[in-house]
Amino acid sequence: MIKASIIGATGYTGVELVRLLSCHPQAELAMLTTRSYEGEHIEDLFPSLKGKVEIACSPQDTARVLKESDVVFVALPHGHSVPVVQEAVKQGKKVVDLGADFRFRKAATYEEWYQVKHEAPKLAANAVYGLPELYREQIKNASVVANPGCYPTGSILALAPALRAGLIESNTIIIDAKSGVSGAGRKASLVTHFGEANENVNPYGVASHRHTPEIEQELTALAGEEFTISFTPHLMPMTRGILATCYATLKDEISEEKLRQVYEEFYQGESFVHLLQPGQWPHTKWVYGSNRCLINLTADRRTGRLVVCSAIDNLVKGAAGQAVQNMNLLFGLPETSGLDFNAIYP
C-alpha cells in the first residue's frame, strides 16, 4: 500500500483528497495536517467521513510527515509549498503540489503574477506539469508534480487538440469560464456569502486572473509559439463545476467532421476526457463529483471561429482527482485506480 499524507487537509481540496484516497484500493492515509484543527479527528470535522477515516489532524511537522509517507500531497496557498517540496526531494519522496508554486517553468512569471519571490526557481523549472493527458510519460518519472489549476485544466483540455494540429490562430484565443463558489476556498468571504452569490453571476479577475499565464504557458507549448490570450472567469451560484467556452479563429476552412476527428484521435483511449455527440453541449451537472472532462465543439461558419466547450468538477479533475491520477502514474498504478466512478446525477 502507498502511504499518502496531505498537508492542508481541511480545505475543500484537502478534504476531497481525503475522500478519494480513503477509497483508493492501493493507498492508505498516513497523516493529515492542518493549522486550524490540530488534534481534532477528521471525521468529527467532516461527518461525511464518519466511519471511513479515523485520523486525528496533526500540526505541520514536515520531517514527521515525510518519514511516514511515500507520497505527500501539498494543499497549501501559494508561497507556502517550497520548503516542504525542497525537503521531500532531498529525502527522495514523491510530491504532488496542488498550489501554484511549481506550475511555472519561469520563476519570473510566477513572481510577476503572484507577487511572491520564488525561493526554488531551479526546482520549479524541473517540476512536471501534472496534466496527464499531455505529460503522462514525464509524470511517471517525476519527483515533483505541479497539479494544474482548475480553470487551466478545463481550458487547456478544450484547446489542446486544435493547437497541436495547427488548426487555429493562436493569438485569437478567448476563454470565457465559469466556476462554482467552492473554487474560492473554504474560508468565508463576502463574495461567496449566500446572500451575495445566490441568484447572481459576476466576472472577476478581469484581464488579471492568475491562471492566465498558466494557461498561456501550456497552450504556447502546444502551439510551438508564444502568444497571449483573453481569459475572463465568472463566479456562478453553484457549489462545484467549471464550464469553459473557448473561441479562436480557424486558419483555414475546415469541416466540423474533420474537427471532431482531430479531437477524437487526440483523446482516443483517454479514460477521463470524452467528446460528446454533435449538438450535445457539456453541462457541469454531468461531471459533478467525477474526474471526467466533457467536451464538444463546432465550427462557426459565419465568423470563421472554432467554438469549443469543456466541463469539469473543479474539486476533482480540477484539483484532488487529478492529483490522485498523478499519484497513480508516479507509482505505476492503473491511471483510473480510485477514480473509476460516475458523476453524481442529478
Rg, the chain, Cα only: 20
Enumerate residues 6+ apart whose C-beta is below 8 A from 325. Answer: 132, 272, 291, 335, 339
Q: What is the DSSP string of 183-216?
A: GG-SS--GGGSHHHHTT--EE-STTT-TTHHHHH
The backbone torsions φ and ψ at residue 250, rounded to the nearest 5 degrees and listed phi first, read -75, 140
Residue from 344, 326, 343, 323 nearest 335 by CA = 326
Helix (H, G, I), strand (E, B) or coil at 87: helix
Pairing of strands 242-249, 2-7: unpaired
Find the catalytic residue in 23, 57, 150, 246: 150
Return the C-alpha cell found at 51: 466511519
Helix (H, G, I), strand (E, B) or coil at 337: coil
150 is catalytic: yes
Residue 244, burial from CB neighbour count under 10 angstroms (0-12, 13-18, 19+): buried
Active site amino acids: 150
